[in-house]
Amino acid sequence: MPVEVPTLPSSDELFETAPCGLVVTTESGQILRTNSTFTTWIGFSLRELLGRRFQDLLTVGGRIFHQTHWAPLIRMQGSVAEVKMELKHHDGHIITVILNGVRREVETGAVLEMALFTTTDRDKYERELLRARRAAEELLHKKTTAENALREAQADLSLAYKKAERRAQFAEQMVAIASHDLKNPLTAIKMATDMLARGERTAKENQLLGHITRSSERAQRMIADLLDFALARVGHGISIAPRTVDFHQVTAQSVSELRIALPQANLAHQHSGTGTANIDPDRLHQLIGNLVANSVAYGDVLKPITVTSVIEESHATLTVHNEGPAIPDSLLAVLFEPMTRGSERDDDVRSVGLGLFIVSEIAKTHGGTAQVASSEAKGTTFSVTFPLTNSGPSEGQNARQG
C-alpha cells in the first residue's frame, strides 16, 4: 500500500518560518531579504532592515572581523561555516550567533546567503562545561597535592619510626648492659654484709646491716627484672631451662623462702592434684616471688595471701590471691604491660613496674598464659597456666593446706 506523503509548505513558508535566521545580501552587504525568524531575533521590522548593510547590525568587533576575515574568505572560498559573531538588538543588547554563509552567482551579480543560529543554549552549555572543567582541574590539583603531602608524611613517619626504633633498641641494650654490669658489685656488697653480720655487732650496727641487706636484695630484684625486660624487648626473649619437677614441691619451697624474705606477709600454700610438670624451677620461683611481692605491695597484708598450685590432666595452674582494694577496670587491661603499677606506694617490695610483665613473659615462654581477676568482694587473683608435656595423672581436686 503506497505511503501517503503529507503536503509540504511552500518555499516561501519554509523560508519565513525556518528554525534559523535567513538573510540574503548583496556582495557589499546590503540586505535584500530576511525571514521573520531573524527579524524577531534582532527586534527590527523587515522594512527597517531592507536596504541596510548587514555589517551595520554587528558590534564594533564584529564589523572588524567581518571586514578583515569573513568577507575576504567568502569571496575566495565561496562559503564560510560556523563563524561566531555578535549582533546588536534593536534595544541595544547583544545577540551572539553562529553564521554559515555561501556566495551565489545570479544574473545581476553575486549574492550572499546566510543562515544564523543563536547560541544562548550553546553558550550556557559551554559555560557549564568550562565550570565543570575548572572544578575537575581544581579537584585534580587538590588530589595531587594531598597525595604528595601524604607521601611526604608517610616518608617522614617511616623515617621517624626507624629513628625511634633504633633509639629504643639502643636504650634497651644499654639497660641490659648496665643491669648485667651492676650485678657484680651488688653481689660483692651482699657477700660483705653477710660476712660482717657473722661477728659481734651492736644493735645499731645490726640494724644498719639489715637495711643494707634488704636494699641490696631489692636492687638485685630490680636489676634481674630490668635484664629480663631488656632481653625480651631486644628480641632474645627470657631464657628458660625446663625440666621435670614436682610442681607442688617447687611452689612450697618458694612459699617457705618468701615467708623469711617477707615476714610481714601471712603466706599460705594450697595444692590439688598430683603429677610433675616440665618447667624451669628457677623461673617458677621468680614468677611466684613477683606475684607474692605484688600482693604484699598492693594487697591487705593483715589478711592471708594464698598461693595455690593445681595439677590437672593437661595443664598446671598457679594462683596467688590477696584481699584488699580492687584493681580498677581501666588498669586490668594493661596490668601485664611494662612500667605499669597499681598505685604510687613506696616500700621495700616496690619495683620499677616490671614484675607482672616478667610473670607474663615467663608464662609465654613456657607456652602458657597469665591472667588476673579483681573485685571488692572476692579480692584479687593472679593465675598462670602452664601446659603439661610430662605429667602424671591428676587426682582429687580438693585443695590441701601447705
89-103 average pLDDT score: 91
CA distance 290 to 229: 14
pLDDT-based confidence at 21, cuts 50/70/90?
very high
The percent of residues above 90 in pLDDT, for the chain, comes to 41
Q: Which residues pair with 318 in a beta bridge?
A: 309, 384
pLDDT tens-digit readout, 152-174: 888 888 888 887 777 666 656 66
In CATH, 11-124 is 1.50.10.20: no
pLDDT at 57 over 80: yes
Looking at residue 214, its pLDDT comes to 66
Contact criterion met (CB below 8 Å) for 342 and 359:
no
pLDDT of residue 179: 57
Q: What is the pLDDT of residue 386?
A: 95
The per-residue pLDDT for 134 is: 87
Cell digits for 44?
527590527
The CATH code of the domain at 152-233 is: 1.10.287.130
More confident residue, 164 or 181: 164
Q: Is residue 181 pLDDT above 50, yes or no?
A: yes
Is the pLDDT confidence value at 346 over 60?
no
Per-range mean pLDDT, top range of 11-15, 307-311, 397-401: 307-311
C-alpha angle with apex 380: 266 to 372, nearest 5 degrees? 125
Helix (H) or strand (E) holding 166: helix 120-198
| Burial (CB count within 10 angstroms: exposed 0-12, middle 13-18, buried 19+), residue 104 | exposed
CA gap 208, 194 in Å, rounded: 12
Cell of 101: 554563509
Q: What percent of the chain has a predicted confidence (pLDDT) above 70?
A: 79
Residue 343 has pLDDT above 60, yes or no: no
For the chain, what's the residue count? 402
- The Cα diameter of the chain in Å comes to 150
- Where are the chain's structural domains? 11-124, 152-233, 243-401
Say yes or no to pLDDT of 393 above 60.
Answer: no
pLDDT at 288 over 60: yes
More confident site: 69 or 231 = 69
* pLDDT 10s digits, 63-75: 999 999 989 999 9
User: Average per-residue pLDDT in the chain?
Assistant: 83
pLDDT at 138 over 60: yes
Residue 53 exposed, middle or buried by CB count within 10 Å (0-12, 13-18, 19+): middle
Angle at 320 between CA 311 and CA 396, to 5 degrees: 25
- Residue 80: the pLDDT is 93
Per-residue three-class SS string for 219-284: HHHHHHHHHHHHHHHCCCCCCCCCEEEEHHHHHHHHHHHHHHHCCCCCEEEEEECCCEEEECHHHH
Q: How confident is residue 239, by pLDDT bands cut at 50, 70 and 90? A: confident
pTM for the model? 0.49
Question: Higher confidence at residue 373 or residue 350?
Answer: 373
Do 332 and 372 touch, CB atoms closer than 8 A?
A: yes
Q: Is the pLDDT of residue 109 over 50?
A: yes
> Would you say domain 243-401 falls under CATH 3.40.50.1100?
no
d(CA 165, CA 267): 43
Q: Are strands 315-322 and 305-311 parallel, antiparallel or unpaired?
A: antiparallel
Q: Which residues of 220-251 are buried (b: 16+ CB within 10 A; e: fewer)?
A: bbbbbbbbbbbbbbbeeebeeebeebbbbebb
